[in-house]
Amino acid sequence: MSKNKKTVFEGSAVAIVTPFKNDKLDYETLGRIIDFQIDNGTDAIVVCGTTGESSTLTDEEHVEAIAYTVDHVAKRVPVIAGAGSNDTRYAVWLSREARRAGADALLQVTPYYNKATPKGLIRHFMTIADATDIPNILYNVPSRTGCNITLPVYKELAKHPNIVATKEASGNISTIAQLMAECGDDFDVYSGNDDQIVPILSLGGKGVISVLSNVMPKETHNICQLFFDGKVKESAALQLELLELINNLFIEVNPVPVKTAMSLMGYGSDEMRLPLCEMDEKNLEILKNSLRKHALI
């Protein structure tokens, strides 16, 4: 099968944090973060994803954050808008709003809590993909949603012209290898885990949608670029060099550590919306030590 779907991006996309100030979106800081990312080689911006605390944004804030990001990025890199939901009708509405705001592509997480049967999952994603004319990237993160996209479901979804890729955060390399063997010609795969960038690239993956990139955009991009340039040993060495920091960015539930890290680096406050809250002091010290090791603070 020859590839006829356009690749949204290759390399590193940042799952960008959403800064708050006095419980309002802090657009000044968001703009600085976007510029920091693009200036340091980030290949795409993912706004209002899990790391962007989409679950506690109002509808108005969600759409405004996408529109602001599109405007500030100004076509320098693709903007991918988180538009997923466990309510298909709401995901359709949000996808259309993101399209209207100028997003280049959409990120669609699997339905959480209510989950779905395989048949329901296929209909859910197909209905959303039918609603706009821009690419959809699926997001498989069963540890958060309790819902997993199986290979037969992927094979059906890959047939849709607007469903072009998946962010795979299941952690199951064997399943991802099978997915790429069966669907890889017409379906892009991105790592959803920063500790699996090189393994997924080695199977033909197109890059990563990254939490690490918030704090180390250049290095996250370089892991991918070195691999693409045939410097596989150097790519793997950089992946392993950053492994401790990658792990410590998940020492508490994401995005608590990465938002704290961004604040320590001078990018806004560490303000989060409940049920997320400030880090445990012991974990905070571990995170700070990792940041110091890489001269980030």
CB-based contact 147:124 (threshold 8 Å): no
In a domain, 37, yes or no: yes
Query: What is the pTM (predicted TM-score) of this model?
Result: 0.97
Residue 1 has pLDDT above 60, yes or no: no
Asked if residue 112 is part of any domain, the answer here is yes
Residue with tokens 């290949």: 43
Residue 257: inside a domain, yes or no? Answer: no
pLDDT reported for residue 133: 96
Would the pLDDT of 54 be above 50? yes
Q: What is the pLDDT of residue 84?
A: 96
CATH number at residue 137: 3.20.20.70
pLDDT score of 3: 61
Asked whether residue 104 is assigned to any structural domain, the reply reads yes
Per the structure, the complete domain to which residue 223 belongs is given by: 11-230
Q: Is residue 42 part of a domain?
A: yes
Q: Flag whether 296 is in a domain.
A: no
Task: Provide the pLDDT for residue 143.
Answer: 84
pLDDT range class, residue 142, cuts 50, 70, 90: confident
Catalytic residues, by residue number, are: 139, 167
Segment 215-226 mean pLDDT:
98
- Rounded mean pLDDT of 7-27? 98
The number of folded domains in the chain is: 1
| Residue 189 lies inside a defined structural domain of this protein | yes
Long-range contact set of residues 234-241: C-beta below 8 Å, sequence gap at least 24:
235/198, 235/201, 236/198, 239/195, 239/197, 239/198
pLDDT at 2: 42
- In a domain? residue 146: yes
